[in-house]
Amino acid sequence: MLKKPKILVVGSFVMDLIVSTEKFPGSGETVLGKSFRTAPGGKGANQAVQAARLGADVTMVGKVGDDGFGRELIASAKAAGIHTEHILVDPDTSSAVGNILLEVSEGQKSKNRIIVVSGANMKITPEEVAFLKEEIASYDMVVLQLEISMEINEIVAGYAFEKGVPVMLNSAPSAPLSDELLSHLAYISPNEHEAADLTGVTIRSDKQNGVNMDDVKSAVRALLDKGIKNAIITLGSNGAVVASAQDFAYASCVDVVEVKDPTAAGDSFVAAFVTGLCAGLTHQQALDFASYTATITVSRMGAQPSLPTLNEVIDLMEREQFGGFDLAMLAPLRQ
């Protein structure tokens, strides 16, 4: 019997400043852009919003600046139904911003380049998350990323591990991870580039043959050898895998939309996987659910504005005649 999951996200808030252009400028080059917009983002907030839109009961812990961007970021979280009482406001530091450059060319998939200025995200203190030492036991899953300080991630992961609560680390952006942090993870979810940084295994792919699955399996084994119980590797247009010592599941990319903006696709995928898993789906079922969710995300512009609702995901799965599991199983998420 599936259930409504209760998820804690500790992570970042970022206001995205999005410029689209037909051509990325080279060093010292100036090009004319096509458009500019702002959108609430940040890997932590994106994942929290996506999980909430899919029906999870989500609490967010993070920090913003005492500024207009900060107020807008909190408002976006509230609008998604997230519990925001543990979002902190720093009066002395600005909210984080993300400078997103989109290359949009006729007949080509959009590409992006992102620079994040961390601002208040790096100002969370150990004292400000100490309340989680006991409260964390009430959650089904804790979700972390690497846009806040490593110290805070390690503290929160330690609290969760002590209480037997599984931890998902979306290991992005890429950074070295301590053995202690790795030992506290139930799940890790790098993309193929981040997996290579963690394991030294390059995952090769080409247009003719797709991804080299032997490389993927080698990278997975290397992650599991670090003491992590389950490893997810997202492979862009080549799909995604999830594996433990006992099983290996693969889902192909659901290539049924025009890719307009890949921003937040990874966040959408991770949040959907966690939501499905905590609701009671198997690894394969959660992987499929996440693939359809992320597909909708890349068909829209912006980070949080692109994240779909549960009904939108189910509608797409029905339209594409998905048969991997009975979609009626997702009914508890509608409650």
Q: Which residues contact 92 (CB under 8 A, 6 or more apart)?
A: none
Q: Work out whether strand 167-169 and strand 141-144 pair parallel, antiparallel, or are unpaired.
A: parallel
Separation between Cα atoms, residue 235 and residue 146, nearest integer Å: 19
Q: Is the dihedral of CA 230, 259, 112, 117 positive or negative?
A: negative
* DSSP labels, 215-251: HHHHHHHHHHTTT-SEEEEE-GGG-EEEE-SS-EEEE
Separation between Cα atoms, residue 205 and residue 31, nearest integer Å: 31
Extract the tokens encoding 77.
Answer: 């979280």
Of the residues 90, 267, 315, 326, only one is catalytic, namely: 267
Supply the DSSP symbol for 305. Answer: G
Name the residue among 167, 218, 173 with its Cα closest to residue 194: 173
Residue 88, SS3 per DSSP: strand
Separation between Cα atoms, residue 7 and residue 243, nearest integer Å: 22
Separation between Cα atoms, residue 63 and residue 22, nearest integer Å: 35
Residue 192, SS3 per DSSP: helix
Cβ–Cβ < 8 Å for 188, 224? no
Cβ–Cβ < 8 Å for 195, 212? no
> Which residue's entry shows tokens 């458009």?
35
Residue 6, SS3 per DSSP: strand
Separation between Cα atoms, residue 144 and residue 9, nearest integer Å: 6
Residue 22, SS3 per DSSP: coil
Query: Is 215 designated active site?
Result: no
As annotated, the active-site residues are 267
